[in-house]
Structure 1
Amino acid sequence: MRLIQEHRLSFTPAPAPQGGWRLALMALGIVALLPAGAHWLRVHGEVQALQARIAAVQPRRAAPAALPPAMQKEQEQQVKVVAEAIRQLNLPVPRLLKTLQAPADMHVALLGVDLNGQPSQDNTEPAAAKAAPAPHGPAGSLKIAAEAETAQDMLNYLAFLSQQPLFRSVYLVKHEMAGNGEARPYRFQLEAQWRQ
């Protein structure tokens, strides 16, 4: 039997032995970089010192002092007033008024629209109701005072507003017949809430 010798073939050249001149060149490069490293360390230290001085010079923001309860309550009331003013400024008034316009076949006249959700101050309300301050309705609510020639016109107008996509709900608050003559119109109040 013949012994098969195993030979490893290598297609990469064998590394050249490290000569003395290569080690000397590497040592020379390290020596050349030492001053640059020392300069970087010195500059880094100066930058840190300057940042510390800048931080010391800048005014410190003091934590807001806690307000006394009376002032805190007053400030909360002011915030509520401002929020209510912003809500009123953001009301879609032109769109609401256009939606409230009755079709030509309904004989309905708008007497008043209260965008704050407060009851109107007409003569039909009792004196006790006028004297008591009414709370604001929910955001997005309005009261409508109107007059119709017939009860059917009043109901048709209520149904018309209920079908408008702008309103979430519309309901009749009160109604009455006005005047003493033959043609006695119906005065009524509606409350509507629109979608936000």
Structure 2
Amino acid sequence: MKKVRIDFAPPGLRRALFRAPHAWSAIAAALVLVVPLATSALHYREELREHERRVEQVEARTRAEAPRPKAPPAPVPAAQAGAVNAAVLQLNLPWRGLHDAVQAATPPTVALLALEPDAKKRSLRITAEAKGSDDMIAYVEALQRLDWFDAVALARHEINEQDPNRPIRFQVDAQWRAAP
């Protein structure tokens, strides 16, 4: 016959643990699982603190290296601004268009010696030589017919006596249009 345990005491946790043999093995298994879990949690917490410390260092370094707001630039003196504007005007000179227009109007009987543009006045001084006065006048008239120029005028002329061919050296002033 089997042994019968008769116990009239009220049931409690301590009594249940004492009486159940499997309860001790469940507690031991729980302890075996809790210990590695606790060490992993502590290790993760240390890594998290180290990561936060590195992030703070990087943010501090970034704040230190960040460009500081610059002071507003000093006003440019009027003389310097004028010089810069004159240089910009000279650089924005329509060289190709002027050259092409003058070259298109220049006949083979006229030799171009110099082109002197003045961007501020939108004027061009042309120095050239021609074999005769008729060629010179024809050249000035050809320049006047070009759409590039508003006003074309013969500024001066002279005969080169030292040259055996006696060419006429002359200067023409031409005002070019703002938008050809």
Please give the root-mean-square deviation of Cα atoms over the aligned residues, in Å.
2.8
In structure 1, what is the Cα distance between the partners aligned to 2:108 and 2:99?
A: 16
TM-score (norm 1): 0.50
Q: Do structure 1's residue 179 and structure 2's residue 161 form an aligned pair?
A: yes
Residue correspondence of structure 1 range 40-55 to structure 2 within 5 A: none
Structure 1 counterpart of 2:19: none
Distance in 2, matches of 1:88 and 1:76, equals 18
Q: Which residue does the alignment assign to 2:52?
A: none
Could you list the runs of 5+ residues in structure 2 that have no partner in the other structure? 1-67
Which residue in the other structure is 1:33 paired with? none
| Secondary structure of the structure 2 residue equivalent to 1:85 | helix
CA positional deviation for 1:109: 0.5
Give % identity: 37
Letter in 2 for 1:185: P
Post-superposition offset of 1:90? 1.1
1:80-118 CA-partner distances (Å, limit 9, x unpaired):
11111111111110111111115575510000011137x
Query: When the two structures are superposed, what TM-score results if normalisation uses the length of structure 2?
Result: 0.54
Higher helix fraction (1 or 2)? 2
Aligned to 1:149: 131
Alignment partner of 2:118: what SS? coil
1:169 matched residue in structure 2: 151
* 1:154 to 1:161, Cα distance in 2 relative to 1, 3 A: same
**C-alpha distance in structure 2 between counterparts of 1:150 and 1:87, whole Å:** 36
How many equivalent pairs are there? 111
For 1:14, the equivalent position in structure 2 comes to: none
**For residues 57-97 of structure 1, what are the alpha-carbon distances to aligned partners after superposition, in whole Å with 9 as ceiling and x for unaligned?**
xx9998x79x8xxxx7x710111111111111111101111
- Matched residues in 1 for 2:136 and 2:171: separation? 10
- Cα distance 1:60–1:186, how it changes in 2: closer, same or farther (>3 A)? closer
8 Å contact kept, 1:106–1:156? no
- Of structures 1 and 2, the larger Rg is shown by 2
Match of 2:85 among 70, 83, 86: 83
Distance in 2 between residues matched to 1:142 and 1:169, nearest whole Å: 10
Query: CA–CA distance in 1 between the matches of 2:155 and 2:115?
Result: 14
